[in-house]
Amino acid sequence: MSSIDVKDYHKLLASAKEKFIAERTLEEKKIEEWRVGVVGCGKSAILEKIPFDYEHVTYRILVPAAYEENLDPELIKKQIEEAKEKIDAVNQIVAEYNAEGLKLLEEYNVMK
């Protein structure tokens, strides 16, 4: 490799690292917004069914491999899938709660 190739390689590597960090930061914000929404619902019928510490959940907790010095793409992918499963489970709890509420409103002829 010539010195120009090495420079280009380091630029490419730095660019990839910046992109990864930017994407990770975006995911951190999404998880924080979701967490705030869950905590803010204040409905014990929903909150008591959540099987993990939703009050303190962060992207770093859900996907710790994304913060390691030597990144393991397969481990990150696995942790992301596990995080999605947890989030989907909570969203399902919320959807069921909302469906029950709509059913009650219809029974009492509130919604027509």
pTM of the model: 0.77
| The total number of structural domains that make up the chain | 1
Residue range(s) defining the domain that contains residue 49? 3-107
Q: What does the pLDDT read at residue 85?
A: 95
Q: For residue range 29-76, what is the model confidence (pLDDT) as tens digits? A: 999 999 998 888 878 888 888 888 888 999 999 999 999 999 999 999
The answer as to whether 112 is a domain residue is no
The answer as to whether 61 is a domain residue is yes
DSSP 112: -
Q: Rounded CA gap, 38 and 32, in Å? A: 10
Alpha helices in the chain (DSSP H): 3-41, 44-47, 59-62, 73-107
Tell me the CA distances in angstroms from 86 to 14, 49, 54, 61, 80, one per residue in order: 33, 12, 10, 12, 10
The answer as to whether 27 is a domain residue is yes
The answer as to whether 11 is a domain residue is yes
The answer as to whether 8 is a domain residue is yes
Q: What does the pLDDT read at residue 34?
A: 92
Take residue 107 and report the two structure tokens written for it.
Answer: 């029974």
